[in-house]
Amino acid sequence: MSDRLSLTFQALADPTRRRILERLLVGEATVQELADPLPISQPAVSKHLKVLETAGLVERRQEATRRWAKIQGGPLKQVIMWTTEFQRLWDESFARLDALLEGEKRKQGRRRGRGGA
């Protein structure tokens, strides 16, 4: 998987990594701060951060002995742009379905009108 979009989806596929990203929405955090609420070790969080960093979703820096992470939005923007194309497809499909159902509703109304008069 070498393209950026595939790396992003691979990183987002894991629920632990999504939880880490949700936490980073609040702001920059240390590895320990990210590990505290999770049921995994600090080294495991570091491995998840490495995947997120490779995908470009997280930027990491070191300050003395602390490792900090912060979210990067660029890859998420690419996901949104890519999925928007599919949203258009669904919107068009739902619009056709709405038109079909409205036509059926009108037919039903005319049948009832003839039968009751």
CA dihedral 27, 30, 36, 41 (to 10 degrees): 130
Percent of the chain with pLDDT over 90: 62
pLDDT of residue 20: 98
**For residues 63-89, average pLDDT:** 90
Structural domains of the chain in order of their starting residue, each with its CATH number: 4-74 (1.10.10.10)
**For residues 82-108, average pLDDT:** 88
**CA–CA dist 86, 91 (Å, integer):** 9
Kindly state the tokens that stand for 115. Answer: 């039968």
**CA–CA dist 30, 25 (Å, integer):** 13
pLDDT band at 88; cut points 50, 70, 90: confident
Say what the pTM is.
0.73
pLDDT band at 114; cut points 50, 70, 90: confident
| Sign of the CA dihedral with 4 first, then 5, 6, and 10 last | positive
* Digit-coded pLDDT (tens) for 18-44: 999 999 999 999 999 999 999 999 999
**For residues 97-114, average pLDDT:** 86
**For residues 53-62, average pLDDT:** 95
